[in-house]
Amino acid sequence: MIATAEFRLLSTSGLLGYGFPEASLAAGIARNPQMIGVDGGSTDPGPYYLGSGKTVNSSRAMKRDLQLMLGAALAAKIPLVIGSCGGAGSNPHLDIVAGLVREIARERGLHFRLAVIRAEQDKASVKRRLAEGAIAPLRVSPQLDDATIDRAAHITAMMGPEPYMRALDAGAQVVLAGRSSDPASWAACAMRAGLPPAPSWYAGKFLECGATAAVPKGHDCLFTAVGEDHVVVEATNPIRRCTPSSCANHSLHENASPNIFVEPGGILDATDVRFEAVSDRAVKISGMQWKPMPYTNKLEGAEFVGYRAITICGTRDPLLIARLDDFLESVREATVFKASGIEIAPDEYTLLFRVYGKNGVMGAREPVREIRSHELGILAEVVAPTQEIASAVLALARVSLLHTDFEGRLCREGNMAFPYSPSDIVTEPAYRFSIFHVVTPKDPYEMFPIEYEAV
């Protein structure tokens, strides 16, 4: 480790595969960054991706970004570092991204040392840690048990910066990692250069999202310089500006608190942070503090729930809208009755209605109780143990929505307008997050094996 007064990092966008202007990458490279990176994923898109092993973005989109980043990093002789590869960062996601990197290398005749850091946890080791008392629930999660572990399709641990630092110390020019704390890859590079944890972690909070701390927002590149007690951020695209207001606003991103961020090994405290404009496009941020804590890693797991079918329809009948809750309850009762007629019991499926224009976004938490729209969109969803049951019940619900009578009804035909034919849509299977826990490891490395490869 060689101490430095400043370390320069370039983030290309908020997520691998989101895209960025080539000119923005070129402008960033002209600033002489000491690493290039991008965040590869998060839990934001929901549990399906972790459960299924499918990537959030297409391979085509990720390959485009990788080609540009890999070429720029190797030409500048600086590391390319990507965390939470593929979205959820389990083995299938990581393998897909690593495969794309190898494919690009073959096509372009590139040569480099690759490090692949795995974050997926085998169930036996998770059970062992549970038995040892090393796993605790996160916030409102229930206590973990062996049955929940067995049901999980994939389980990942969220790594901190230490595995990245080890891979770079071993000479890796390209580092691809599984599930990580979003700022960890950035913090690793700055701390490895000898800079303190507080500004290193804080820089990562901005870099993980690319240029979204700038205005106007967009998927674009962010250049960041980390100093001993501050961070300077600037979008490389001249149409975007980082301002004290836009950067302060960004600190609200994805956190319950804008000031306290819990990370592996400590708390990043931004209570006394100051935002100062250093130009009309760049902001200096200072005052952050790092408070060490016992080292923990988050565990994430997703389990299969069932097969799903949906239909989308709409109504602008004022009489139906005025009686909507009673109408939907009648539809539910009619569906249950019809399903029982084909020997499908109510406990074999879940039927949900999401009403857009009423409370489709917030559900029971919606504070506005009065329906103010002249039309409503209804999404009916059925989840069941088999696709056959899900599709069968969904068809009955669709018919019930279309033809169930209600008081004052004037319409003699269908109640609903359907935008698609076929109206019934089979979706991907449904998953849910089943493991949101924290584990206390023996050290920051033991859960994250590193594989090295000459590409």
User: pLDDT value at position 412?
Assistant: 78
Strands (E), 252-375: 260-263, 266-269, 274-277, 282-286, 289-292, 297-315, 350-356
Domain map (residue ranges) of the chain: 6-119+158-296+440-454, 304-433
Strand partners, 7: 226
Distance CA 375, CA 321 (A): 8
Written as one letter, the residue type at 137 is P
Tell me whether the omega of the peptide bond preceding residue 92 falls within 30 degrees of 0, making it cis.
no
Residue-wise burial string across 264-290, b where 16 or more C-beta atoms lie within 10 A, e elsewhere: bbbbbbbeebebeeeeebbbbbbbbbb
Distance CA 333, CA 330 (A): 5
Written as one letter, the residue type at 83 is G
Mean pLDDT per block of 10 residues along the chain (455 residues) reads 78 97 98 97 93 97 98 98 97 98 98 98 98 94 97 98 98 98 97 97 96 94 97 98 95 80 96 96 97 97 98 96 96 97 97 96 92 95 98 98 93 91 97 97 97 97
Q: How many CB atoms lie within 10 A of CB 45?
A: 14
> For helices 59-76 and 22-29, what crossing angle results, to 10°?
20
Half-sphere exposure of 363 (CA within 13 A, CB side): 5
Distance CA 353, CA 359 (A): 10
Distance CA 91, CA 122 (A): 11
CATH of domain 304-433: 3.30.70
Q: How many CB atoms lie within 10 A of CB 227?
A: 18
Report in angstroms the alpha-carbon separations of 110 from 102, 172, 173. Answer: 9, 14, 12
* DSSP, residue by residue, 397-418: HHHHHHH---TT---SS-S-B-
